Structure 1
Amino acid sequence: MSALSRFCFAGFCLRDYYLPGFCLTFFVSLCIGPASADTRVALVIGNGAYVSTAQLPNPSHDAEDVAASLRRSGFEVIQGVDLRQADMQDLTIRFARAASRADVALFYYSGHAMQYNGVNYLMPVDATLTDEADLKRFVRVDDIVNDLQQAKNLRILVLDSCRDNPLADMLKRSATRAASVGRGLSKVEAPRGTIVSFSTQSGQVAADGTGRNSPYTTAFLKHIEEPHEIGDVFRDISSEVYDASGKTQLPELSLSIIGKFYLNGPVSVTVAPAAPQAAPRPDPCASAEAHWKAADTIGTVSAFEDHLARFSSCSFASLAKARIDGLKQKVALAPATGESRMFDGKWDVTVNCASSGKALGYTRTLSATIADGVFHAEDRDPRTNSTLAIDGQVSADGKTTLSARGLTGPSAYTVNNSAPGSPYGYTIDAQFERSRGSGKRNELRPCSFTFVKR
Structure 2
Amino acid sequence: MKKTLLLGILLAGAQLSQAQHDHKFKGEWETPKVPLKAPGIVWQYPSTPQLTVEKPQLKVTVCVQSTEAVSQYQFVLNGKAFSSKARGFKKVSCGQEISEELTLTPGTNELHFVAVNSAGKTISESHYITYQTEPTSTPANPIAIAGHTKRTALIVANDSYTKHPLKNPVNDGKALQEHLQKLGFTVIFRENQSRKELKKSIDEFTNGLTDKGVSLFFYAGHGLMVNGDNYVQPVDADPASESDVQFDCFPLRQLVARMEEVNPNGSNLVFWDACRNNPYRSWKRGIGEMSHTTINPPVGTMIVYATEPGKTAQDGEGKNGLFTSELIQHIDTPDLDIRELIERIDFGLEKRGFRQPPYIEGRFRGKFTFNPSER
Gaps of 5+ in 2: 1-137
For residue 230 of structure 1, the aligned residue among 338, 347, 350 is 338
2: CA distance, partners of 1:132 / 1:255: 27
Residue 375 of structure 2 is aligned to residue 264 of structure 1: no
Q: Is the 8 A contact 1:119 1:140 kept in 2?
A: yes
Higher relative contact order (CA 8 A, sep 6+): 2
Letter of the 2:236 partner, please give it.
D
CA deviations 1:303-358 (Å, max 9, x no partner) are: xxxxxxxxxxxxxxxxxxxxxxxxxxxxxxxxxxxxxxxxxxxxxxxxxxxxxxxx
Question: Aligned residue pairs: how many?
Answer: 234
Q: Is the 8 A contact 1:47 1:110 kept in 2?
A: yes
Q: How does 1:394-413 map to 2 (within 5 A)?
A: none
Residue 162 of structure 2 is aligned to residue 55 of structure 1: no
Aligned pair in 2 of structure 1 residues 40, 193: CA closer, same or farther (>3 Å)? Answer: same
Q: Which residue of 2 aligns with 1:122?
A: 232
For residue 347 of structure 2, the aligned residue among 233, 239, 245 is 239
Letter of the 1:162 partner, please give it.
C
1: CA distance, partners of 2:287 / 2:344: 39
Aligned pair in 2 of structure 1 residues 191, 87: CA closer, same or farther (>3 Å)? Answer: same
- Report the secondary structure of 2:316's partner residue: coil
Q: Which residue of 2 aligns with 1:14?
A: 140
For residue 206 of structure 2, the aligned residue among 96, 113, 121 is 96
1: CA distance, partners of 2:152 / 2:321: 23
Structure number with larger C-alpha Rg: 2
1: CA distance, partners of 2:143 / 2:317: 39
Aligned pair in 2 of structure 1 residues 112, 104: CA closer, same or farther (>3 Å)? Answer: same
Letter of the 1:82 partner, please give it.
N
Letter of the 2:275 partner, please give it.
C
Q: Which residue of 2 aligns with 1:72?
A: 182
Gaps of 5+ in 1: 1-11, 22-35, 269-454
Residue 289 of structure 2 is aligned to residue 180 of structure 1: yes
Letter of the 1:157 partner, please give it.
V
- Please provide the CA RMSD for this pair: 2.6
Q: Which residue of 1 aligns with 2:258?
A: 147
Q: Is the 8 A contact 1:99 1:147 kept in 2?
A: no
2: CA distance, partners of 1:249 / 1:58: 17
Q: How does 1:18-29 map to 2 (within 5 A)?
A: 18-19=144-145
TM-score normalized by structure 2?
Answer: 0.57
CA deviations 1:247-291 (Å, max 9, x no partner) are: x211112342221122213249xxxxxxxxxxxxxxxxxxxxxxx
2: CA distance, partners of 1:178 / 1:202: 16
Residue 325 of structure 2 is aligned to residue 218 of structure 1: yes
- Report the secondary structure of 2:217's partner residue: strand
Letter of the 2:155 partner, please give it.
V
2: CA distance, partners of 1:126 / 1:198: 23
Deviation, 1:187, is 4.6
For residue 196 of structure 1, the aligned residue among 292, 297, 303 is 303
2: CA distance, partners of 1:111 / 1:210: 15
Query: Is the deviation greater in 128-137 or in 38-47?
Result: 128-137
2: CA distance, partners of 1:223 / 1:177: 40
Letter of the 2:366 partner, please give it.
G
Deviation, 1:192, is 1.0
2: CA distance, partners of 1:244 / 1:128: 34
- Give percent identity, aligned residues only: 26
Residue 218 of structure 2 is aligned to residue 108 of structure 1: yes
TM-score normalized by structure 1?
Answer: 0.48
